[in-house]
Structure 1
Amino acid sequence: MLVLGGTVFLSRAVAEEAVGRGHDVVCAARGVSGSVPGGAALVRWDRGEELPAELAELRPDAVVDVARIPSHVRRAVAGFPGAHWTFVSTISVYGDVATAGGTPDTLPLLDPIEDDLNPAAGSETYGGMKVACENIVRDGTRSAVVLRPGLVVGPGDPSGRFAYWPARFAEAAADGRPVIVPEPVDQPVQVIDVRDLAAWVVDAAEQRLEGVFDAVGPPVPRSELLAQIAAGTGTMPQLAPVPAETLTAHDVAAWSGPRSLPLWIDDPGWSGFLAHDPAPAHAAGLRTRPVGETARDTLRWILETPDARVTGLTRPEELELLTEVHPWASPAAR
């Protein structure tokens, strides 16, 4: 198995899973020796350059790619067209983000962007480039499966979005103060543990699975997701719901980043973005663990990893906001 990457988060989890099952795993990345899982071989490759000779000589049975730059995928497909490909895409490829319960058969795609643009330029740029990457894989390989995850979470997550909640619940358990939750509290959210997605990626390679699937967990109301996180981390914080307009007025951002409330989407037009139908993927073999287990392991990773990223409102920022929007939550009122 050739894993294009293998040093960070999902691609590393795939390499670990494949090594654990006894496969011969080669990781192609810009990393250094020791940056890939034990038992996997590393071949240095900057994907902006041509295939190195050591890679060009490989004849892998399976290739796993998570890339988002069309030229990178095009170059790799040209090098390994005879392998079975598992391409990890994204639900950001869809042009309809409002319809809940959508599937690859029912949702329209964005127009493909064949050029190498900056994926951080916006969701449509990122999504359009991923559409182009999907097409390159499907058109240029002997067999392929395309998996479209939404929020991939768990230990090692470099985005820090999901990590915000178990970390914040632990802080609240220590200081006894409430935690701000954005309204509406029943907004659907769906996540998938990186280890579950990695296991399915390896399954797909072993079984030469073909087709296109949304690799997502079940959508649940935010209140239920937070309850599962609390149960998994052994905390029971008091929640302080705050209307979206109030958060916006106090310069709290949605989704991720500094001074944000992660996993919150403040645009009602995106109500279907985290509410895809998981049934086709589960019928094809995807298995997902309880969110509480993911939260427990994520919190352990945060506590054990000094540079673990947690994005969002800092606790002092949140407590200051609490005293303004929920006076009953201030220490004096208690």
Structure 2
Amino acid sequence: MTQVLMLGGTGWLSTRIAQRWRDTGAEVTCLARGARPAPEGTLLLRGDRDDPHVYDALALRDWDEVVDISSRADHARAAVAALGDRAAHWTYVSSVSVYADEMTIGLDESGPLHEPAQDGEEYEYAAQKVAAEQAVSALGERAFIVRPGLIVGDGDPSDRFGYWAAAFARAGDGPVLTPVLADRYTQVIDVDDLADYIAAEPRSGFVNAIDDPRPLAEVIDLSRSAAQHSGEVVAADDDWLEAHDVQYWMGERSLPLWLPHDMTGFARHDTTAYRASGGRATPLEQTIRRVLADERARGLDRERRAGLRRADELALLAQLT
């Protein structure tokens, strides 16, 4: 039986990956420190990756597959040092955020990277991912580095992609605020597609695991259609939104997926390697319908990690119009 070690396994993406490996018939062990349960049919081991002895028992056995999604380079390095000799294959889930060039359209896996994080430096997501990639890459042909873009789907804890379906659904026949959408793009991967891709046959090298770029206007129109919104859509330009403290991309008081004009390449990466290695893409309409159902279940007016509160959106619309 295939032995899989999931470093994590109780979070949003890692749970999906553990489930996919389980469904292939593998015996899955999840190492996690939180209070959340591991997927049914997998084994949960409680452990803190800051503990230098956390891998002691795991290093006593061989693993056909190790999967790590950590965003801390020290965690990735320690895992490779402790378990690298016992792993037949190692998958590290990185991010397209590792690329230093955010303007070039169609950048493939050979694009320049940010400088890797150094011990003691202030935490910076992209630099940590680059340093973690370096640690895993030391395993050579046994290493596979997956670089997803924005991961989307039901249950998304970041609240970014689902904001638009929720915003149109909560507005009903009222207005919805958007940025000016001309020449704006977004690029996502469904969480289930990513999990399926990772829990497949072993691969090596580096792959941008992401669907093809889509005009942001198309994504927002599909979200509006799914929500059956019948109100006005009001667009504001970048300068106006910035002057009124509306943030790009993510976070409180943001318009998610909206990117600055100097990031023309961030959401337009090359996907050739992903497609050629068996990666698939769920039709975006299906993902949006699933996301909208999840947004309704969780509450359209709930506190969000990304997007505008409806009261704030209406206040901005009143100033704009």
TM score, norm. by length of structure 1: 0.88
SS in 2 for 1:227: helix
1:127 to partner: Cα distance: 1.2
- 1:70 correspondence with 2:73: yes
Kept in 2: contact 1:87–1:134 (CA 8 A): yes
Amino acid paired to 1:258 = E
Matches of 1:233 and 1:54, distance apart in 2 = 50
**Contact (CA 8 Å) 2:27, 2:42: kept in 1 or not?**
yes
SS of 2:114 mapped into structure 1: coil
Q: Which residue of 1 aligns with 2:118?
A: 114
CA distance in 2, matches of 1:308, 1:280: 38
Determine the structure 1 residue equivalent to 2:278: 285
Q: Which amino acid aligns with 2:25?
A: G
Where does structure 2 lack aligned partners over 5 or more consecutive residues?
Answer: none
**Distance in 2 separating the partners of 1:62 and 1:114:** 28
TM-score (norm 2): 0.92
Tell me the SS of whatever aligns to 2:138: helix
Q: Is the 8 A contact 2:174 2:230 kept in 1?
A: no
1:145-164 superposed matches below 5 A: 145-164=144-163
Structure 2 residue corresponding to 1:257, chosen from 251, 259, 264: 251
After superposition, the Cα gap between the structure-2 partners of 1:310 and 1:171, relative to the gap in structure 1 and judged at 3 Å, is farther
Give the % identical residues.
39
> Which residue does the alignment assign to 1:322?
317
Q: Give the 3-state SS of the residue equivalent to 1:133 in structure 2.
A: helix
8 Å CA contact 2:165–2:288 kept in 1: the answer is yes
Cα 1:309–1:195 shift into 2, 3 Å? farther
TM-aligned CA deviation for residue 142 of structure 1 = 5.7
User: In 2, Cα distance between the equivalents of 1:252 and 1:234?
Assistant: 26
Q: Tell me if 1:79 matches 2:82.
A: yes
Q: In the superposition, relative to structure 1, how do residues 21 and 70 fare at CA in structure 2: closer, same or farther (>3 Å)?
A: same
Give 1:97's aligned residue: 102
SS of the residue 2:67 aligns to: strand
2:19 to 3, 6, 16: 16
Report the 3-state secondary structure (helix = DSSP H, G, I; strand = E; otherwise coil) of the residue aligned with 2:262: helix
Q: 2:167 — aligned with what?
A: 168
- The 3 A distance-change label for structure 1 pair 292 and 55 is same
Go from structure 1 to structure 2 and tell me whether the alpha carbon gap of 1:25 and 1:262 turns closer, same or farther (over 3 Å shift).
same
1:255-283 per-residue CA deviation (whole Å, 9 max, x = no partner) reads: 11111111111x32111111101122111
Deviation at 1:31, TM superposition (A): 2.5
Query: 1:77 touches 1:141 (CA, 8 Å); kept in 2?
Result: no
Preserved contact between residue 55 and residue 83 of structure 2 (Cα < 8 Å) = no
- Shift of residue 56 of structure 1? 2.5
CA drift of 1:234 comes to 4.4
Alignment of 1:1-334 (within 5 A): 1-32=4-35, 35-49=37-51, 50-81=53-84, 82-105=87-110, 107-115=111-119, 117-119=121-123, 125-140=124-139, 143-173=142-172, 176-203=173-200, 207-235=201-229, 237-265=231-259, 267-305=260-298, 309=304, 311-326=306-321
CA distance in 2, matches of 1:2, 1:281: 24
Aligned match of 1:331: none
Q: CA deviation at 1:302?
A: 2.5
Show structure 1 runs of 4+ deviating over 6 A: none
